[in-house]
Every structure is written in C-alpha cells, then in structure tokens.
Amino acid sequence: MVRLVPNNLLPPTVPNFHQILPTNQRPDVQKLYSQLPHFPSANFRTVSNASRPTAPHINMFRRAAPRAARLMRGGVCHEMRATFATSRRGLNANVSTTTSDLGQPDLASASSAEPSSNCRPLQEATYRQLPPTMQKMSLMGKVVIVTGGARGLGYNMAEACVEAGAKAIIILDTNTALGEAAVKALHEATNNSVAVAFYNVDVRNEEDINRSMDELTATHGVPDVLINSAGIADSNMPAETYDTKLFSRLIDINLNGSFLMAQALGKRLIEAKKPGSIVFIASMSGGIVNYPQEQSCYNASKAGVIMLGKSLAAEWAKFGIRVNMISPGYMDTALNNVPALDAQKKIWKALTPQSRLGAVHDLNGLAVLLASDSSAFMTGSNIIIDGGYTLY
C-alpha cells in the first residue's frame, strides 16, 4: 500500500528527497550563462576544435580566465592587499583555517559566531506514516558522529541528521565554546528530545579519539554513522615556497585524521558485528587543480581522502561497513562574505554552470542519504556536488 504524507508533517530535510521541480520551474541554462560576467577578451592559451561550434560555456571560460589571471597573478586586487600579505604569485595565505567543504577554507568554520538551530526532529509517529522508501531515507534510531560539527557545514549536516530522525548526535571538534553552543542550540531546537553531546577532540590525536569513542559508546552504544567533516586548508601557497611544517600539518589533519577516525569506529563496528556508514567530506580538489589559487597540499590531501575511502570500502564491505565520499565544490560560507574575496568569488561563480556558490545546506540531503539505509548497496563512491564546476 502506498502512503503519502503531507510535507508539513516532515522536517525540512526529508521532503527534499522526493520533491521534483516541475519543468516550467527549472532554470534556463542559457539564461544562466547570459547572466555571467563578461570579462574583456585577451590572448591566452586554449584548447579548441575549430570544426565544431563553440558552446556557450566555452565562451564563458574564455572570457573569465584572462581576467582571473590578471586578478590573481601580477595584480592582486586592492581589497585583498588590505587583508592579506601578497606574494609574487597572489595571496600569501599562511594562516590555516578549519574546513568542512572544498579546496577553499570553510571560512564559516573559522567564525566565532555561536550556532543556532531551527531544525525539527523527525518524530516516531511521523516516521511510521512514511512509505517504506522514505523510511529507508531516514536515520531513525541511529547514533551519528560528526567531526568538525561545531560550526559551518559540519554543524549543518548535524542538524540534517536530527531532522532525519537520528536518536543521538555526537559532535567532535577542537573549539569547546562553539561545541558547547552547538549542543545547546540543538537541545533547544529539539526540546531535549534528541541526545546531543560534544567532545573536544583533535583528529590527529589517536588517544583523544579512542578515549572519546569509549565514553560515547558506553553511553549510546557503538555509533552507526561517522560524518568526517573536520579539516583545514592552506590556499594560495606556491609549492616552491611551501613551509614543509605546514604541509605536514595539513596532511596530518585532513588525511591522517580521516584514517584515525574511520579506524576508531571501524574496529568497534567489526567487534560488535554491526553494520555502519562512514562519510568522508573530501573535495572536488581531490580530482582537479583549482583555478586560480595554488594549493598543492590541500589537493593532495583530499585526493588521499578519496582513495582512503575507496580502500576502506573494499576492505570493510565484508563487515557491512560502507564508506563513501562527498566532494563539494565552492561553498558560500560566512567568512566568504568579506570584500577581500569578492574578486575570487566572481571567478569561482563565472566558472560554475549554475553561476553560484553552494549554500551551507546543499550537502545535507546527500549526507543523510549516504548515512541512511537507502544507500545500502552503495560503497566506495565519490559524489561531486559542485554546481557543475568540474564539468569544464
């Protein structure tokens, strides 16, 4: 029997899985292209095929690239000079920032603003009314760990898991103030109907990880899901002058930290003979070289995360443990909203078919899908969610 549930009974995350945009409301791709910035033409190297007509997106790229080169090479814009020290090849962004998205810092993660929440947890009564397909897309009764979950995209995904029915959300982060604020916000939003806990954990520290895992397992049981969102980014760093200590630090957090977290949960799931889902937040930078910023270490770290996830997926499939990756494109986070990044953001948007940056909630549905039983036959997959950026 097919059961239909009105959308007003569902949390915001859940209807997104089954809403199909009517044809007459779908965006006009040609119109999107026509709204892109028209940069002055210039001579630069391109690969083309004279025997076929030039598509609109190729024209867009040809307009954008010369302008991008001028902005980020010899002549960094004045707003950037006012905020960052400049190197001979662009920005000298020696300050690492926490991230949970792409090849750029999740600048929202570096924000000191306390999180707030308007999420509504999926109620048991509503869950029972859902059709079987929608039930599988929920996280009803599951315990979910989110690293880097005190802020930014990690916090948004934690909210989505609450909306999808998780019975407990465990936030691991290095920022105690924001971690405690996140717990408070989620408790208030759910009227304390969902268990929420915070542990101050550095993902480089195996002892910290195992201690927190032992404590939370004693309270909530072996977690069902890990969303590994913690990470940092060093961007606009020429490889020939990259400080090797910074290089090692980034690899240690982004790649080694991902392994340590996955290992800590994986071995507990195996010992408990319990299936589980691990979701790595990688980046489109794990498969491409971003333009125009120089970030060799970040790109390498995210490529490593993707292959780590594929390797663990192959090894642990026999235990019922699935491992998948989300690779976001450019995301519009709070700290991106500064004049110093306006020029770079224009370039990112101009090279993205949807002509926008990702919103902080754009990863939520995919994170819930991969964490849920509806993706039970899916493991080792790297899903790019970038508004089409990597199509070019």
Q: Which two tokens stand for residue 178?
A: 């924001």
pLDDT digits (tens, 9 = 90+) for 127-157: 999 999 999 999 999 999 999 999 999 999 9
Nearest one of 199, 325, 311, 212 to 264, comparing CA atoms? 212
Q: Give CA–CA dist 242/94, Å, rounded.
A: 9
pLDDT band at 115 (very low <50, low <70, confident <90, very high): confident
Mean pLDDT of 303-328: 99
Q: Give CA–CA dist 182/176, Å, rounded.
A: 10
Mean pLDDT of 339-352: 87
Domains and CATH numbers, the chain: 56-110+132-391 (3.40.50.720)
pLDDT at 114: 65
| Of 346 and 273, more confident | 273
* Catalytic pick among 298, 301, 327, 389: 298
* Catalytic pick among 283, 285, 327, 372: 283
pLDDT at 317: 99
Distance set, CA 243 to CA 200, 239, 251 (Å): 28, 9, 13
Residue 43 has pLDDT above 60, yes or no: no
The string of DSSP codes covering 56-96 is HHHHHHHHHHHHHHHHHTT---HHHHHHS-EETTEE---S-
Residue 372 has pLDDT above 70, yes or no: yes
pLDDT band at 40 (very low <50, low <70, confident <90, very high): very low
DSSP code at position 256: I
330 as an active site residue: the answer is no
193 as an active site residue: the answer is no
DSSP code at position 358: B
Helix (H, G, I), strand (E, B) or coil at 192: coil
Q: Which two tokens stand for residue 48?
A: 């083309």
298 as an active site residue: the answer is yes
* Catalytic pick among 109, 127, 142, 302: 302
Kindly report which listed range (38-42, 257-261, 276-280, 346-350) carries the lowest average pLDDT score.
Answer: 38-42
| Sequence-separated (6 or more) residues with CB below 8 Å from residue 321 | 266, 269, 270, 275, 276, 277, 278, 312
pLDDT at 118: 84
